[in-house]
């Protein structure tokens, strides 16, 4: 029996319970997946109070960094990017890991965005570091537009093979082959006014609600390719489902089903 939940604050808007429960029903796996409001500073107490019937948890903001201090063990990638979105029970206790990196990898691969040598990441928080790790490779020109100067070192640690340039928040967006926005709702709206006709490259939005964001809409109107945050949620979620189930799952069959269910919920 899989017993899991997504934790965060606010959490009422999360699509994760719908997607996970739909998948487990399709796979004919006994499961119960819910959403639980857990605010910053409450995570350790919450986890300590769970009994051994719990399989694991999905973590969203503001808990992706806090979980590193709560888990009994942290996987190497999560440690490098200082962010984890998954907590699973193991023989050693609670293990923290990240499926956000796989989510970015798989979404980019699905949309045939793989052979790029330059990327702009808007933001430098937990999701941004996962994106940086996913894009990191020798020769990559990576630009980071952010407001939190103190996070520069953690971004460098997340993508040590890339050549990283940091830009202040009032800068123009660099012209790169891929732009990934990892900031909360409406934060990056100001960049929409920079859009001109005939943009090139791909814009990847980590948000799925609200959708479309002002920047993603402008990018699409200007002729650019857009990847929405629902795909990030789906691909990182499929990786979590595999972890919670403890076996391979039929991702190729599940993706179109979950995409359809997710869009129907967002449009209802």
Summarised one tens digit per residue, pLDDT across range 69-112 is 999 999 999 999 999 999 999 988 999 999 999 999 999 999 99
pLDDT at 197: 67
Q: What is the mean pLDDT of residues 120-128?
A: 97
Give the tens place of pLDDT for each residue, 40-62. Answer: 999 999 999 999 999 999 999 99
pLDDT at 268: 87
Q: Give the pairing type, strands 31-37 and 2-8.
A: parallel
pLDDT at 42: 98
Average pLDDT, the chain: 95
Beta strands in 117-246 (DSSP E): 118-122, 141-145, 163-167, 178-181, 202-205, 225-227
Q: In sequence order, which residues have a C-beta less than 8 Å from that of residue 211 and are 6 or more positions away? A: 205, 228, 229, 230, 266
Burial of 46 (0-12, 13-18, 19+ CB in 10 A): middle
Helix axes 251-266, 16-26, angle to 10 degrees: 140
Q: How far is CA 218 from CA 13, 186, 200, 221, in A?
A: 25, 13, 13, 5
Domain(s) labelled CATH 3.40.50.10860 in the chain stretch across: 2-98+236-266
Task: Give the CATH H-level superfamily of domain 102-227.
Answer: NAD(P)-binding Rossmann-like Domain (3.40.50.720)
CB atoms within 10 A of CB 201: 17
Q: What is the mean pLDDT of residues 11-34?
A: 97
pLDDT-derived band at 199, boundaries 50, 70, 90: confident
Q: In sequence order, which residues have a C-beta less than 8 Å from that of residue 246 and are 6 or more positions away? A: none
pLDDT at 115: 94
**Residue 21, pLDDT above cutoff 80:** yes
Fold category of 2-98+236-266 in CATH: Rossmann fold (3.40.50)
Overall pTM > 0.85: yes
Domain(s) labelled CATH 3.40.50.720 in the chain stretch across: 102-227
Give the tens place of pLDDT for each residue, 142-172. Answer: 999 999 889 999 999 999 999 999 999 988 8
Helices of type H across 188-228: 214-221
Torsion sign (Cα): 223, 208, 185, 43:
negative
**Residue 195, pLDDT above cutoff 90:** no
pLDDT at 170: 81
pLDDT > 70 fraction of the chain, expressed in percent and rounded: 99
């Amino acid at each position: 029996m899989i017993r899991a939940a997504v934790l965060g604050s606010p959490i009422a808007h999360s699509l994760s319970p719908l997607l996970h429960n739909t998948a487990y029903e399709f796979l004919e796996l006994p499961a119960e997946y819910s959403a639980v409001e857990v605010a910053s500073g409450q995570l350790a107490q919450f986890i300590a109070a769970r009994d051994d019937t719990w399989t694991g948890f999905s973590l969203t903001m503001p808990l992706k960094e806090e979980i590193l201090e709560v888990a009994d063990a942290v996987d190497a990638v999560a440690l490098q990017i200082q962010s984890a979105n998954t907590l699973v029970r193991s023989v050693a206790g609670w293990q923290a890991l990240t499926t956000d990196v796989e989510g970015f990898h798989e979404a980019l691969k699905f949309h045939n965005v793989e052979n790029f040598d330059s990327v702009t990441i808007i933001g430098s928080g937990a999701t941004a570091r996962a994106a940086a790790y996913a894009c990191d490779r020798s020769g990559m020109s990576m630009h980071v537009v952010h407001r939190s100067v103190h996070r520069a070192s953690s971004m460098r640690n997340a993508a040590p093979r890339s050549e990283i340039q940091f830009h202040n928040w009032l800068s123009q967006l660099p012209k790169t082959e891929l732009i990934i926005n990892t900031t909360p709702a409406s934060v990056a709206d100001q960049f929409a006014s920079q859009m001109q006709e005939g943009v090139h490259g791909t814009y990847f939005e980590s948000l799925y609600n609200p959708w479309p964001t002002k920047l993603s809409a402008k990018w699409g109107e200007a002729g650019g390719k857009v990847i929405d945050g629902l795909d990030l949620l789906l691909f990182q979620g499929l990786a979590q489902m595999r972890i919670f189930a403890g076996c391979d799952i039929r991702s190729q069959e599940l993706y179109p089903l979950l995409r359809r269910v997710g869009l129907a919920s967002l449009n209802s």
